[in-house]
Each structure stands twice: as C-alpha cells, then as structure tokens.
C-alpha cells in the first residue's frame, strides 16, 4: 500500500560525498571553469546577427554559392539541434557537479547556435528541411547511445572537432562576410565543449576494462567512418567555395589527434596512434588524396599503406586552443579578445 514511499529517488543526494583524488578534483575544477567562462562569454545571437547585417548588409551570394552553403549548413543546422539534445542528455546523466554544470552551459550555447543558424539561413533563402544519410546516421548514433563515455567521446571529441574544422574552413574561405564573422562566435563556444570531454572522459575511462575500452574505440571508429562519408558528400560544395576537402580532412585529423592525445595520455593510452586513427589515415589517403598523388592510384595506395603503418602527422598543440582566441562581442557588450590569458589564470 505504501510501496511508493520506498521508491528510490532519482536525485543524486550523494553527489557531494563522492571521494575525489587530487587529479579528479583538478579536472572537475576545470569543468566548473568551463561553466563560468560560458556565462562570461555568452553572446546575444539576435544582437550579433543584427550587428553583422548592419555592418555588411543582407547576405548576397551567387546561386551556386548559395546552394553550396545551404547544403553544408543544413548539416550544421540540424547538427546544432542534435548537439543541443545530446548536451541536455549529458547534463542530465553526468553526476559530478562541475561536469554537470559544464554540460548545462553547453546546452545554453547549442540552443543559441541552433537559433542563430536558423535565422542566418532564413536570411540566405530557404532553410534546409533535412540532411543526407551519413550525417544523419552519425548524429543518431551519438543521440541514441546509452553509454555516457561513448556519448562524450562521440560528441565532445569527434563531432565538436568536426564542426570546428568546418567552421574554420568556412571562416578562412569567407564566401560571405556575415557567416565568416559568425564562425568566430561558434568556434569560441565549441572549443569549450571539447574541453568538457578532455577533462571528464578520463574519469570514466580509468575504471574501464579492456573490453569496455575496445567497445568505446569501436564506437569511435563508426563515428569517424560516418564523418568521412559526410565530408565526401559535401566535397563538391566545399570545392565550389574554394575549400579543398583534403585540407578539411587533414585539419580535422590534426584536431582529433590532439584531443585524443590530451584526453587519453594520462591513462597510458596512445589513442592518437591507435588502430582507429591509423584506419582514418589509410581511408583518408584513398578518399581525399593529396595534390601530389591525385590521379595516381599506385601513389595513393602507397600513401595509404604508409598511414596504416603508423607514419602519423605531427600533433599541433594549438589545434583547439586557437579557436578560443577570437574576438567576440558578448551579451554584456564587452569585446572578449584575451580569452587565452583569462583561461590561463582561471585554470
């Protein structure tokens, strides 16, 4: 009759009782800083878009360029909605307070990214109603995963770095000035989201057995496969905007290798040199050959085998950090330009 009284609460009342080592405390403190930086650096999407339209006028593009941007940014638009939902799942499921706070601030950021991208694409013309098969599979895989570590690896380390790569490539090619400026705002936020994965994921992986780790890296392999297919699908559109898909692939690989190294090195796992990244290098040489090997199948196969044998490219320690240094106007009306120094003091 009073069975409902014994029902276990879903509130984690013991969240403050969890024992923390010094290393865990340091990592979680950094997660807490991500939340506070997210508040300091929050920007008003409506105001920023209005400000940029006032500065540059409504976006005007040739029809082929407009179509190319619509196809690429269909993935970004719906990807932002997926990121919003995934970060809300993380905010709900992560237990330690500071990491939960960091995920919560990401929810706030992704909501802003989604509505700003919707407003921008509306200015550009019709808003894309769907996306291609490969990016849809990728996002559904991360959304549907029940494993917290898989979700974090998929979202924070793989999807976020892929997004950063596309944003950076569009900003540098600058096919349209408002979009190029907006990318700085997006990049600054996404770099923080990668930070949550780098700080919190090791705390989940440290107690995993070999089989659990193998399953996690198999999940990473799936994500990367869909990511490469996605890049292939938009290759022509990138090219029409003056962006070489090979450069996108190399940039993305450098970012992913950097975050994998920084995330897993403390656990003694060389994920950046592991079989998944080697396969990524192998497939990359065949799918997006370098200028020197284009049109030469034998040279492409040789490059692919070299990538598989472990001749990994150098890691760029600034691959993620550079995105946090953009100048942006925050909702408080300040220009945040020295984020790196602020971060150095805070962390």
Residues that bind Fe ion (CB under 5 A): 80, 83, 110, 113, 190, 193
Yes or no: say if 158 and 219 are a contact pair by the CB < 8 Å rule. Answer: no
What residues have CB less than 8 Å from 203, skipping those under 6 apart? Answer: 24, 27, 28, 96, 99
115-119 contacts at long range (C-beta below 8 A, 24 or more positions apart)? 115/45, 116/45, 116/48, 116/49, 116/182, 116/185, 117/73, 117/76, 117/77, 117/80, 118/77, 119/45, 119/46, 119/49
Smallest gap from Cβ 326 to Fe ion, in A, equals 15
Yes or no: say if 230 and 289 are a contact pair by the CB < 8 Å rule. Answer: no
Between 163 and 303, name the residue whose CB sits nearer to Fe ion: 163
Alpha-carbon distance of 66 to 180, in angstroms, equals 14
Smallest gap from Cβ 106 to Fe ion, in A, equals 6
- Among candidates 107, 43, 118, which has minimal Cα distance to 73? 118
Q: Are strands 335-336 and 328-329 parallel, antiparallel or unpaired?
A: antiparallel
Smallest gap from Cβ 213 to Fe ion, in A, equals 25
Between 142 and 336, name the residue whose CB sits nearer to Fe ion: 142
Between 155 and 205, name the residue whose CB sits nearer to Fe ion: 155
Smallest gap from Cβ 210 to Fe ion, in A, equals 31
Burial class of 334 by CB neighbour count within 10 A (0 to 12, 13 to 18, 19+): exposed
Smallest gap from Cβ 159 to Fe ion, in A, equals 8
Alpha-carbon distance of 314 to 260, in angstroms, equals 13
Between 194 and 260, name the residue whose CB sits nearer to Fe ion: 194
Kindly report the backbone phi and psi dihedral angles of residue 128, in degrees, each rounded to the nearest multiple of 5, phi listed first: -60, 135
Smallest gap from Cβ 214 to Fe ion, in A, equals 27
Smallest gap from Cβ 219 to Fe ion, in A, equals 19
Between 150 and 246, name the residue whose CB sits nearer to Fe ion: 150
- Among candidates 338, 310, 316, 38, which has minimal Cα distance to 165? 316
10-14 contacts at long range (C-beta below 8 A, 24 or more positions apart)? 12/95
Smallest gap from Cβ 83 to Fe ion, in A, equals 5
């Amino acid at each position: 009759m009073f069975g409902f009284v014994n029902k276990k609460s879903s509130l984690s009342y013991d969240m403050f009782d969890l024992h923390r080592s010094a290393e865990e405390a340091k990592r979680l403190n950094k997660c807490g800083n991500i939340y506070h930086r997210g508040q300091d650096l929050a920007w008003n999407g409506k105001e920023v878009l209005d400000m940029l339209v006032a500065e540059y006028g409504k976006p005007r593009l040739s029809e082929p360029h407009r179509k190319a941007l619509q196809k690429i940014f269909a993935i970004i638009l719906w990807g932002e909605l997926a990121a919003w939902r995934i970060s809300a799942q993380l905010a709900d499921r992560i237990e330690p307070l500071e990491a939960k706070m960091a995920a919560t601030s990401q929810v706030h950021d992704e909501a802003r990214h989604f509505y700003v991208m919707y407003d921008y694409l509306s200015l550009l013309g019709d808003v894309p109603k769907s996306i291609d098969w490969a990016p849809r599979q990728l996002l559904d895989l991360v959304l549907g995963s029940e494993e917290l570590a898989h979700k974090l690896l998929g979202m924070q380390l793989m999807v976020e770095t892929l997004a950063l790569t596309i944003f950076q490539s569009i900003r540098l090619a600058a096919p349209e000035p408002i979009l190029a400026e907006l990318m700085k705002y997006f990049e600054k936020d996404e770099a923080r989201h990668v930070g949550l994965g780098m700080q919190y994921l090791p705390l989940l992986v440290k107690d995993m057995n070999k089989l659990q780790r193998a399953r996690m890296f198999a999940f990473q392999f799936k994500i990367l496969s869909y990511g490469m297919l996605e890049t292939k699908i938009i290759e022509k559109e990138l090219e029409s905007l003056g962006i070489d898909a090979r450069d996108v692939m190399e940039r993305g690989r450098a970012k992913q290798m950097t975050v994998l190294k920084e995330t897993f090195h403390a656990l003694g796992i060389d994920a950046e040199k592991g079989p998944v990244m080697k396969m990524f290098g192998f497939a990359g040489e065949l799918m997006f050959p370098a200028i020197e090997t284009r049109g030469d199948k034998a040279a492409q196969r040789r490059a692919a085998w070299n990538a598989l044998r472990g001749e990994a490219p150098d890691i760029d320690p600034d691959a993620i950090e550079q995105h946090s240094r953009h100048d942006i106007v925050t909702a408080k009306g300040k220009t945040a330009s020295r984020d790196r120094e602020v971060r150095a003091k805070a962390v």
